[in-house]
Each structure stands twice: as C-alpha cells, then as structure tokens.
Amino acid sequence: MHKYLDIYYFIDKLDFKELSEINKKINIIFRDYNRQIDKNEILTIKQICKKKGFGLYLANNLKLAIKLNLNGVYLPAFNKNLNFKNISCAKNFKIIGSAHNFKEVRIKEKQKCEKIFISPIFKTEKSKKYLDTIKFNLIANKTKKQVVGLGGINSKNLKKINLTKSCGVASISWIKKNGLNKI
C-alpha cells in the first residue's frame, strides 16, 4: 500500500530556477543560520510559493513568520524555548519542529508543534548515528503528533518510509539533486 507523503524541502537562499522547476505540491522551509534574514528575500520566496501552491515555513523566527503571514514556523531541535503561550496568529499558521530523541519529542509537544521531524532516519554524511525504521517507529509511537522522516533519504531507502509511521519526508540534498521526480 502506497501512502501519500507530505514533502518538505529545506532551502537557504532564493534560487528562481530551482523553485520554478518543481512541479509537485511541497512545503519549503527557509533556514539560514549563518546570516541575517532578509525580509525582502522571504517576501519574494513567499510570492513564488503562493503562485506555485507551496507552503512556506521560516526556521527559528516565530515573530517574523507571523508578521510576514507565512504558513508557519519550523523550530529546530536546538530550540528548546517553551515560551509560546501568548502568540496570536492566523488559524492556519502551523508550528513544526525537529527532534533527535524521545526527550526532544516531548519538548516539541510542549512547544505545540503539529508535526515533528524525527532525524536522522537513515545514514547521512553528517552523522554516523541514525535511527532506521524500527527506532524511528518506537519514538513515533510514543507521540500523538504526526511525524515526518528527516535525514538520509534517497531513492534506495524511500520505500522504507512506507514501513514507518511517517506522514512525510524532509530532505535537503537528495531533493535538490533528483528526488522530486522519484516521489
């Protein structure tokens, strides 16, 4: 049985050519922790995403994501701030976040994340440690939130995602190379 997967694609800069070649409905997560966020760049990406029907999430900047009326905010695993009680935003605004273990999943639940990216699900160049499908499912079964597989996804292990409780996949390099054509 093949299930529909939400697709999340991480970008760190505006690339018109790259975004214009995407034909599927995906969600873009803009994250760049190395430089100051340029509001005009975000607004340009927002226009492209709106035109193409993509969702746009801004990483680790809740106030700016609300101010620019984006689809939501992405909270990385290192963000452990629990002060999200008094936020006022649109009904369709979503908070999503990532976690590497069960303890971080609980933090993301307290941050009111609707979806939690659990990573790395497969082996990556950055990390020798990875969860694989069994450990991923053990963590995913301990939360009532939807979970998304992140890290090490490629054409060889994409079918393994159907063995997990994942409602989607998130990637950086594989989608950039050729992944969207294979999903």
Q: What is the pLDDT of residues 26-46, one digit of tens each?
A: 999 999 888 888 999 999 999
Instruction: Provide the residue ranges of all domains of the chain, joining segments of one domain with +.
Output: 6-182
* Terminal alpha carbon distance of the chain: 15
Per-residue pLDDT of the chain (183 residues; tens, 9 = 90+): 446 789 999 998 888 888 887 877 899 999 988 888 899 999 999 999 999 999 999 999 998 999 999 999 999 999 998 876 667 777 889 999 999 999 999 999 999 999 999 989 998 887 778 898 999 999 999 999 999 999 888 888 888 988 899 999 998 877 767 656 555
pTM recorded for the entire structure: 0.89
Cα distances (angstroms) measured from residue 38 to each of 14, 30, 43, 44, 181: 11, 11, 9, 10, 30
Q: Which pLDDT score is estimated for 135?
A: 93
Pairing of strands 146-150, 166-171: parallel
Cβ(141)–Cβ(165) below 8 Å: yes
Q: What is the pLDDT of residues 85-97, one digit of tens each?
A: 667 777 889 999 9
Q: Which pLDDT score is estimated for 181?
A: 57
CATH for 6-182 is: 3.20.20.70
